Amino acid sequence: MPHVPAASAGPDRLRALVAAHPFGAALLEQFSAHRRGRIIDVVAGRLQGVTVVLENLVDNHNASAVLRTCEGLGVQAMHVVEQPNKWEKNKAIARSADDWVTIHKHKGLARCLGDLAAAGFDLYAADVGPGCVSVADIDVSRPVALVFGSEHSGLSQRALALTEHRFTIPMHGMVESFNVSVSAAVALWEVTQRRRRHLGAAGDLDEREATALAVRYLKRALKSPELVAYLEAEHGPFTFTEPPTGA
């Protein structure tokens, strides 16, 4: 689960870790230097110490827009509480972001937030009014979960009771708040940038986590289950292997 890694994997190290296993090396060989470099760079910049929780969003356009923002900013996981509204991806908005972001669907809010808190996340509820801290003052030295509510009524009283912190985005106009997808985008940009500065690294996956994710992304980017199956049968399933000294 999320943590501040002792050593996150940079692109060069990550490429060597993937290539240390014959199956990983074979996957890398299927792509141009530019394409495999892009995949490795994206994985090296993934954050699991920042996540989003969406409580009962009504409009799937908004949830899909948040998903796309998560992918674009390198947030590895998003949590959706489907109570009572089920979430369905809007393909035109999400633009395949769900291929690269892990989506956790929950039936119960308390279990979702409780599991995140137990995993070390500080829970910050998006809200307005007295008692809120500015999004710029969220503590990024620890894993952060940003919790957003329905477009119509915001977070439920239960959600507010289960979160330990409340935050807001300072407004300078006549309206009191942004649309939920805009709020999520602004908050995620602020928190991910400061989290990376705190870590001194683009991402926070440890070497094993980053290597497993890189292999998963390479398999998905190949877009040929038949070729993936052939390469895996030829070289064996991927297992984490330290590269030779000097690799």
Average confidence (pLDDT) per 10 residues, the chain, 247 residues: 56 94 96 97 97 88 92 96 75 82 93 96 92 96 94 82 93 85 96 96 94 96 95 95 70
Regarding whether 162 and 218 lie in a shared domain, the answer is: no
pTM of the model as a whole:
0.90
Regarding whether 119 and 38 lie in a shared domain, the answer is: no
Residue 16 placed within a domain: yes
pLDDT value at position 6?
46
pLDDT value at position 174?
85
Residue 217 placed within a domain: yes
Regarding whether 118 and 30 lie in a shared domain, the answer is: no
Residue 2 placed within a domain: no
CATH code of residue 180: 3.40.1280.10
Angle between helices 207-222 and 33-44 (to 10 degrees): 140
pLDDT value at position 4?
46
Residue 39 placed within a domain: yes
pLDDT value at position 39?
97
Residue 79 placed within a domain: yes
78 close to 51: Cβ distance less than 8 angstroms = yes
DSSP state of 97: G
Residue 99 placed within a domain: yes
Residues 6+ away with beta carbon under 8 Å from 214: 14, 17, 18, 24, 39, 40, 43
Regarding whether 175 and 56 lie in a shared domain, the answer is: yes
Regarding whether 38 and 59 lie in a shared domain, the answer is: no
pLDDT value at position 3?
45
Domain count, the chain: 2
184: three-class secondary structure by DSSP: helix
pLDDT value at position 7?
55
Regarding whether 213 and 129 lie in a shared domain, the answer is: no
Q: For 226, what's the count of Cα atoms within 13 Å in the CB-facing half-sphere?
A: 0
* Domain ranges, residue 142: 50-199
Regarding whether 117 and 35 lie in a shared domain, the answer is: no
Residue 98 placed within a domain: yes
Regarding whether 176 and 229 lie in a shared domain, the answer is: no
Regarding whether 172 and 61 lie in a shared domain, the answer is: yes
